[in-house]
Structure 1
């Protein structure tokens, strides 16, 4: 009859969103995806995060961003990452189940654009022995129903509110169980190692890429309020995880 099944990941995420709304909360979220782009002509080593690495991708970034925009994912950035032929794509934050829907669309649209260009993409946590690992990072901002921030409180340590501290502590307390859903394959643990910028430590950090939960830096550009930007980044996740199930579990 079209009723969602009780164990469907998308239905679980939607139900979690309904509980949030009943509690007077709204969750703003976005997924970042890292992936390897393979089959580029005349591949040469390029410096990490460099314009040279961006140019090496040829027309792929433009085609991908255009396709993602047509798919309604509201892409924000395509940028070269630390590894050779490694890139990252981000989308505008969204409420409710839409953030996880966008994560699914990003993966499938990226693969299809690459296929049409005669290229290949690899979202695997470890694309090859000795390669730089690929992760998926979940950015979360908790707000009151009126849109005012719940995590941000100026003057407290790292501007994190008391409620935010409790929420972060809960995530970290349940981290071993959460990883069964956010890093669900054997390959996931080839990535989750110290010194891989991949969240090998169960801690909350500021500007610390080794922390499982990170307070993201915010800047006041053009008068934008810091509270609206303030978010926590859940890092021990990769593309072998189901976005809807992983996000519902973390929340």
Structure 2
């Protein structure tokens, strides 16, 4: 066997350094803080600052949508559902549901696709500083006259069950509700802990730690799960909603690189 020359060693070392540098460059550079994250940890070193959005009551609700499995990880939803578009996290109580809670809802089932009893969903009530009409997708949160709004997402993770005594999604729907001249949900969930508020971005499966979202979003994430009746989700879809939502979306994988996270005080 021929011995490796010093010049060959140097070439190998250069190659390794190049590969190492390429790996480091895979994480987005120059972007503001990203979402979703583990809300139990305040760790974050992203230095991009932006003004946090006002309370949701001072903004217009522009969109409501859901993700199957929680995008965030929190005290009440820390059970891994794996990776990929349908990964994320499940509510901690998932394994304790009764046969009745897991039963097929029967009549009216399937109007809202991608969710069944026993699933975890993360609901996003998206609010904007723009004067807009609520509608389909995040594009409804901007306008030609308001291309750089302040955005705030109120977030609740639900454990979906077949139980009419569980929370009713229609209590948190929009249905044309106006308060003080602003579009507002009929209510936002309470009783699931003090929301963790932080700076981040938009989510969804098209974004990763290598493909970052440029939008700046103030997040308000409640730390505990609550049970939600699946029949009420089917009603929301079957009767129609201004958001055009009839299915639950995929998830963006948890952002863990400190340089992509804002510090939580």
Over alpha carbons, which structure has the higher Rg? 2
The normalised TM-score by structure 2 is: 0.27
- Bigger relative contact order, structure 1 or 2 (CA pairs below 8 A, ≥6 apart): 2
The structure richer in helix per residue is 1
TM-score (norm 1): 0.28
